[in-house]
Amino acid sequence: MRRAIAAVLALGLAMAAGGAGAAEKRHGLSIFGDLKYPAGFRHFEYVNPDAPKGGEFRSWSVETYDSLNPFILRGIAPRTISESFGVERTFTSLLSAAADEPDSAYGLAAESIERSADGRSITFNIREIAKFHDGTPITAEDVVWTFDTLRTEGHPRYRIVLRDVERAVAEGPKRVRFDFAPNFTRDLPPIVGSLPILSKAHFGNRTFNETTLVPLLGSGPYRVERVDPGRSITYRRVEDWWGKDLPVNRGRFNFDTIRYDFFRDRDVALEAFFAGAYDWREEFTSRSWATGYDRPAVREGRILRRELPDHSLSGFQAYFLNMRRERFADRRVREAISHAFDYEWTNKTIFYSLYDRTTSVFPNSEMASAGRPGPGEMRLLEPLRGKVPGEVFGEPYRPPSTDGSGNSRDNLRRAQELLREAGWQVREGRLVHGARGEAMRIEFLMYERSFERVNAPFIANLKRLGIEATMRLVDPAQYQNRMRDYDFDIIVQRYAMPQTPGVEQRNFWHSDNRDTPGMFNLAGVGDPAVDALVEAMIAAKSRTELIDAARALDRVIMWNVYAIPQWNKAAHHIAFWDKFAWPAVKPRYGLAVVDTWWVDPAKEAALGR
């Protein structure tokens, strides 16, 4: 679900080129510039249009699932059912994103797009060939029903991103119009175009807002073939899929079947890979990448390893302290806790120096703050003087650092000073608030063991400060429920960021979403200054304005220590059995493995021998 929402928000676009005057039919949308691909283009640059179809792609996941409905708050749906790596899977939408442009989308179920003269509405003309898997046509009525249902009964995130859409109207069987409120955000036209399209008739005699293990009727390149909850899920390519020859799909979706196996333990999953249980994995554990691949299959070339560059805006991964807990509401307390995290030692000792320290909400991008605030940033920040930390007006935030020796005495001394300033004292070896008499406790909530080795030295330093710190391992379902209800002290989360950040920032930081269950404002931020800067990002009319607003927001969030940043890397580390082939060009902003690679029959036969 998180990736599906991120993919939707990543299409935060406005109409490219002109807008005033008579409505003009266009083949795509883009923000802040022209489309890369002209009308009538044959295929995306990063595909092999003649790629053969067939074979099986097998991968893995550490998550699990108990529902096949990814559009509601209840239950846990496999993220692969609606998308994977930003690629539609079993459902389709009016628009499809291009992975080699930061903010463009082209017609998928929509044959063309029209914008009204005043810009207050956008109309999609649906292809005659577009249909659901049962052969029934995709109609404007289905699009309207989907929009109304997601906004009223779907996951709360839909209500947030769609709040400025006044209505959806079916102007005909194949023509649907969306009307926007005055001063609507620039993201809305493509956001409504990237919503999944669901069948109204399919839900005629069933409740939408219920978990289910019966696959929902889709219209995408794959359908669910096999469901084995807690163990695996398998998708099969729809051979007569209506969209297979469209320019946005040519050369894509080449595997006959795609299967994901689920593991609770990453080390067990790695062993299963070498045993041939599945074919392909992206490695997220630095220890495994550095030391776990010295195996015969790798040395003999039967398993290949590749490091692929990642030019996309890296996600923001951090420890999030829940400020709904009174003990974490004081910035000095959060800053003190951040001094107990020795990143340099962790990266050298545990991560084999494979990562870079995250110092921004928008790492690996021009949105990250740099130097002192420029004129554009100051226009936004000056009205907030006295309402944000004074450091915001100076150099960018940099997390506390060490020499990597494991001796963080200076940082812990500074942490003690901050805690004393915030009213905390050590009594009989325990950190206690002088006025409230409350002992400082921090529980690290986890659903897998891979973070134990990262959290353990952090916890050891916290205990040196008199903090009662512990780890709590729960099953994935309980973890999702506790995160959904904000029932935690500290958790690790990664926010996937689109190349053109916008309305999704409300979900992460805006006070309107502080107490709504299921949102991603995990830290519990409720700051009018942050709200104002989030809205400035959304309202930006040019990329320059967007960068200024993003950098200003970055400074305020980071200097408030709303989260303790962790690490990032501008590369994908992948390993796979040598049975695949791939296009000559990798898209700049995507991995594009599942949708552009294919099985090479000769390689597969040789591997079998």
Domain segments of the chain as ranges: 1-311+570-609, 316-568
Separation between Cα atoms, residue 476 and residue 492, nearest integer Å: 14
- Give me the phi and psi of 11, to 5 degrees please: -95, 30
Using alpha carbons only, give the angle 550, 31, 314 rounded to the nearest 5 degrees. 45
Using alpha carbons only, give the angle 168, 174, 179 rounded to the nearest 5 degrees. 20
The answer to whether domain 1-311+570-609 and domain 316-568 are alike in fold is no
Distance of CA 263 to the CA centre of its chain: 21
Low-confidence ranges of the chain (pLDDT < 70): 1-23, 33, 82-88
Separation between Cα atoms, residue 563 and residue 359, nearest integer Å: 11
Give the dihedral sign, CA 374/376/380/383: positive
**Model pLDDT for residues 191-203, shown as the tens digit of each residue:** 899 999 999 999 9
pLDDT at 8 (0 to 100): 39
- Give me the phi and psi of 346, to 5 degrees please: -60, -45
Q: What 3-state DSSP class applies to 128?
A: coil
pLDDT at 88 (0 to 100): 67
In this structure, the chain runs to a length of 609
Helix (H) or strand (E) run with residue 153 in it: helix 140-153
1-311+570-609: CATH homologous superfamily?
A: Periplasmic binding protein-like II (3.40.190.10)
- Give me the phi and psi of 456, to 5 degrees please: -55, -50
pLDDT at 214 (0 to 100): 94
pLDDT at 1 (0 to 100): 35
pLDDT at 62 (0 to 100): 85
Query: Would strands 598-599 and 580-581 be described as parallel, antiparallel, or unpaired?
Result: antiparallel
At 190, list the tokens.
Answer: 């493509």
pLDDT at 7 (0 to 100): 40
One-letter amino acid for residue 204 of the chain: G
- Give me the phi and psi of 550, to 5 degrees please: -65, -45
CA distances from 104 to 187, 189, 190, 306 (A): 11, 12, 9, 28
One-letter amino acid for residue 249 of the chain: N
**Model pLDDT for residues 283-324, shown as the tens digit of each residue:** 988 899 999 999 999 999 999 999 999 888 888 999 999 999
Separation between Cα atoms, residue 575 and residue 289, nearest integer Å: 9
DSSP 214-256: SPPP--SSEEEEEEETTTEEEEEE-TT-TTTTSTTTTT----S
Separation between Cα atoms, residue 53 and residue 569, nearest integer Å: 33
In this structure, are residues 510 and 98 in contact, taking their beta carbons and an 8 Å threshold? no
In this structure, are residues 546 and 313 in contact, taking their beta carbons and an 8 Å threshold? no
Query: Would strands 441-446 and 468-473 be described as parallel, antiparallel, or unpaired?
Result: parallel
CATH architecture of the domain with range 316-568: Roll (3.10)
**Exposure pattern of 302-323 as b/e (b: 16+ CB <10 Å)?**
ebeeeeeebbbbbbbbbbbbbb
DSSP character at residue 32: S
In this structure, are residues 240 and 95 in contact, taking their beta carbons and an 8 Å threshold? no
Separation between Cα atoms, residue 509 and residue 543, nearest integer Å: 21
Which of 127, 174, 554, 568 has its CA nearest to residue 357?
568
pLDDT at 16 (0 to 100): 36
CA distances from 301 to 25, 272, 297, 609 (A): 51, 18, 6, 14
pLDDT at 15 (0 to 100): 36
Q: What 3-state DSSP class applies to 413?
A: helix
Which of 410, 44, 498, 435 has its CA nearest to residue 249?
44
In this structure, are residues 115 and 122 in contact, taking their beta carbons and an 8 Å threshold? yes
In this structure, are residues 195 and 155 in contact, taking their beta carbons and an 8 Å threshold? no
| Rg, C-alpha atoms of the chain | 25
Separation between Cα atoms, residue 293 and residue 299, nearest integer Å: 9
pLDDT at 297 (0 to 100): 97
CA distances from 250 to 45, 108, 131, 256, 427 (A): 11, 12, 18, 15, 68
Q: Which residues contact 390 (CB under 8 A, 6 or more apart)?
A: none
Using alpha carbons only, give the angle 176, 180, 181 rounded to the nearest 5 degrees. 155
pTM to 2 decimal places: 0.85
